[in-house]
Amino acid sequence: LSGLFQPKPLANRHVLISAGPTVERIDPVRYLTNDSSGKMGIALAEAARDAGATVTLVHGPVREALPTGITTKAVESGDEMLEAMLADYDKQDLVIMAAAVADYRPTVRYDRKQKKIDGPLRIELEETTDILRTLGERKTNQILVGFAAETENLEKHAQQKLIRKQADFIVANDVSRADIGFSSDENQVTVYGNNHPAVHYDQQSKTRLAAALIEQFTEALQ
| Residue 150 near Ca ion by CB under 5 A | no
| Residue 101 near ligand CTP by CB under 6 A | yes
Q: What is the largest CA-CA distance in the chain?
A: 73
161 is in an annotated binding site: yes
According to CB under 5 A, which residues from 73 to 132 bind Ca ion?
103
Options 29-37, 48-56, 127-135, 208-216: segment touching ligand CTP (CB under 6 A): 127-135
According to CB under 6 A, which residues from 56 to 95 bind ligand CTP?
78
- The residue within the footprint of ligand CTP, chosen from 27, 79, 88, 103 (CB under 6 A), is 103
73 DSSP β-pair partners: 58
Dist. CA 222–CA 212, nearest whole Å: 18
3-state secondary structure 55-119: EEEEECCCCCCCCCCCEEEECCCHHHHHHHHHHCHHHCCEEEECCECCCEEECCCCCCCCCCCCC
Contact partner at residue 161 from ligand CTP, Ca ion, none, CB < 5 to 8 Å by partner kind? ligand CTP
Give 150's Cβ-side CA count (13 Å radius).
20
91 is in an annotated binding site: no
Parallel, antiparallel or unpaired: strands 104-106 and 143-150: unpaired
In whole angstroms, the minimum distance from the beta carbon of 175 to ligand CTP comes to: 9
165 is in an annotated binding site: yes
- The residue within the footprint of ligand CTP, chosen from 51, 97, 213, 214 (CB under 6 A), is 97
| Residue 131 near ligand CTP by CB under 6 A | yes
Radius of gyration of the chain (CA): 18
In whole angstroms, the minimum distance from the beta carbon of 103 to Ca ion comes to: 4
Dist. CA 192–CA 213, nearest whole Å: 12
Separation in Å, CA 77 to CA 70, 102, 204: 22, 8, 31
- Respond yes or no: is residue 34 known to be catalytic: yes
| Residue 191 near ligand CTP by CB under 6 A | no
Residue ranges that bind ligand CTP, judged by CB under 6 A = 78, 97, 99, 101, 103, 128, 130-132, 146-149, 161
Residue ranges that bind Ca ion, judged by CB under 5 A = 103
Binding-site annotation, residues for CTP: 103, 113, 147, 161, 165
